[in-house]
Amino acid sequence: MKKILVITLILIIVLNLTQITYADTLSIPAETAVLIDAKTGNVLYNKNMDKQMYPASTTKIMTAILALEKTDLDNIVTVDSKTPYETQQGDSSHIALRPGERLTMRDLLHALLIESANDAAVVIARYISGSVEDFSKLMNEKAKEIGAKNTHFTNPNGLPDENHTTTAYDLAIMAKYAMEKQTFREIVSKYKYSISKTNKQPIRYLKSANRLLYGVGASNQINVNGNYVDIKYDGVNGIKTGYTFAAQNCLVSSAKQGNKDLIAVVLHCQGRNVYIATHKLLNYGFENFESKKIAFKREFIENIKVEHGDMPYVTGIIGKDLYINIPKGRDEDVKRNIVLGEKIQAPIKENQVLGKVEYSLDDEILGTTNIVSATNINMKPIYKVVNNTNDSIFKKWWFWIIIIFILWRVFIMYRRYKKKKLRRKKRYNIYNNY
């Protein structure tokens, strides 16, 4: 028995060490990196993912998010007089917008995300907020809202600013949020686009710098773990490149193979290492994790006690299917934890959320799904009468007049009582003095 126990413990330690060693020996040629499950946001690999970094043009992911949420794609935007002269200097990426030029927001978004146009970013910012400063405030508010808490933006395009910083993890969270928007997904999956002739410029042809989408052939080869492969990666469907001297090469990528969706972020890479690092991360995710359907819609969880109901229990079921990425061979180790609301009280409607189920591995939550009611539960008649009375009576003006009158009468009676008590005390004192 002791031998079996010792062997079991050794196997557990070896398996865990194997997993950790494999992750640690990826040798990602980036200063910071992270790989997440695009469905759940769970971290599958990280290298300094919370370190403050310059994001360069990956900033434009947030600019696009706000444009999609605050404008209509068919809106006509007129280029202001300042933006072209501020954003088209030196080697800044741009599409040569002209003062007074009119384009649709759809075309500006394609220029932003495919050509990485800095002038398009500023035009979008001023169209939405009136100024770059005010738009930057919106960017920071949105970042916090979606969970990117270590981010501070000062402009919409990522041009150098020592206060314009984020982290690999925050960029992954922003990318996950953005990829949930169909229009964003459609744009970043393209590597070519043409903007029709405008009132100021002829037709423009845009091309993405993201070679993960199209880089094949002898001039697009990289060495990944001793093997020369095309930069183009099977299943990649976006997202955004970036480069400044301070930030070096940055890349946020999304890829799908089968039912597995991954997002990889690599920051501060030298040259083509940006693609090597991304290949290594995506290979690691696809080769070492498997997507499992861990919860099934309408799966029975338990009968839950109901207060004030015409039935003592309500059937709790899973609200929707849940898929999570699990290290291969460890699906049996996933644990389930049921968390119910503090007070389950009638009336309850069918599909009303009653709590949640958390699925975890090694004390890390991999995913959650809601527990919902399988049926309607009505309130007991007696509670219904009281509840309806309470709901309606408090809204009547005369009810509050009565309450005030009662309180006034109680106050008057109390004062009379105090006076009467005081008179009795005086008479008592006079009597005793005699």
Half-sphere exposure of 208 (CA within 13 A, CB side): 24
The Cα 340–Cα 320 span in angstroms is 17
Give the position of tokens 């008479």.
Answer: 427
Say whether 81 is catalytic: no
Q: Which residues contact 411 (CB under 8 A, 6 or more apart)?
A: none
Q: Which residue stretches of 253-358 are H helix?
A: 273-288
Prior bond of 202 cis (ω within 30°): no
Strands (E), 48-202: 76-78, 102-104, 192-195
The Cα 189–Cα 179 span in angstroms is 10
**DSSP state, 254?**
E
The Cα 118–Cα 95 span in angstroms is 8
Give the position of tokens 């930069």.
Answer: 231
3-state secondary structure of 374: coil
Say whether 131 is catalytic: no
| Residue from 39, 47, 93, 116 carrying the catalytic annotation | 116
8 A C-beta contact, residue 371 and residue 354: yes
DSSP-derived secondary structure for 157-173 = S----TT-BB-HHHHHH
How many other C-beta atoms are found inside a 10 Å radius of the C-beta of residue 140?
16
Say whether 116 is catalytic: yes
Q: What helix, strand, coil percent values describe the chain, rounded to 5?
A: 40, 30, 30
| Residue from 60, 260, 280, 292 carrying the catalytic annotation | 60
| Residue from 47, 57, 136, 373 carrying the catalytic annotation | 57
**Which residues are known catalytic residues?**
57, 60, 116
